[in-house]
Amino acid sequence: MADSRPQAGREPSFFEDFALEFLDLPEARVRVRHYGSGPPVLLLHGHPRTHTTWWRVAPKLARTHTVVCPDLRGFGQSSKPADTPDHRHSSKRAKAGDCVALMKHLGFERFAIVGHDRGSYTAFRAAMDFPDEVSKLVILDGVPILEALERCDARFATEWWHWFFFGQPEKPERAILADPDRWYSGSPEKMGERNYADFCAAIHDPETVHGMIEDYRAGLGIDRAHDEADRAAGRTVQCPTMVLWSLRDDLEQLYGDVLAVWRPWAPNLTGHGIDSGHHVAEEAPDTLAEVLLRFLGSTP
């Protein structure tokens, strides 16, 4: 495996040549960057990031692929969904629908999808709900929501307590917005100045913070129900799937054999750990890009 430590040389410019647009989809208005002319790949960020988390990886992929990086609905500068008691407008099913609509808007009927952290749940749901549209699936630092909740023990509840705190009404937003910089750590030195500035704008915006927290509320309810229905019906991911996890994060400590957790959901499965902290696109971009390119190949 390639060395994932920061590599010497000139840093890539910030999304050089990428178009930046706001696109109106059937159910959301999405901020998106895209560029390239090869097979399409959609990159989905996690919490509390925006699409700019991919700024060191996307240009490397765009040498051979068409790369699309949106803010998920509720996050960044994309539109914020209406609240409902069941949080359905913040569900991963709703966000997966946005992904398919976005790619069709850009002219792609079939595409690969890569999701990190909370974005991995939307990527997984897209592969489950739209098997004809998703050609390959990459999961970064995640297991299915249903698996996480069913395997929850004292260690998970202690280390991932935020899942359950974020599920409460009102209090999470009040706590975060009291001091967003203290709540969410980050720095321009580690993240890059423009990525950090975009991240800061997001975590200081009350509507965006609420949208990000609604993603968790949906996860504890309607998203879990969607996973349960799929398992009961025997549905699995139909496309080739790769799962990657950060060795300096805690996925292995929580689940041991991460691939064993995924195998019942994705029969055509590969994957391994990467020497990185949680925000792998920012911390080990060269290694991540290399692994992604090997897996994505030239399949449309």
Looking at this protein, which amino acid is placed at residue 199? Answer: F
> Are the CB atoms for 192 and 56 separated by under 8 Å?
yes
Q: Write down the catalytic residue from 47, 105, 204, 278.
A: 278
Please give the C-alpha separations between residue 267 and each of 104, 226, 262, in angstroms, as whole numbers.
27, 19, 8
Tell me the β-bridge partners of 42: 68, 113
Gap between the Cα atoms of 38 and 134, Å rounded: 16
Is 117 marked active-site?
Answer: yes
Q: Write down the catalytic residue from 71, 117, 215, 249.
A: 117
Gap between the Cα atoms of 56 and 12, Å rounded: 6
Which of 245, 255, 240 lies closest to 284, judged by CA? 245
Instruction: Assign 3-state DSSP to the chain and report helix, strand, coil percentages, each to 5.
Output: 45, 15, 40
| Catalytically active residues, by annotation | 117, 278
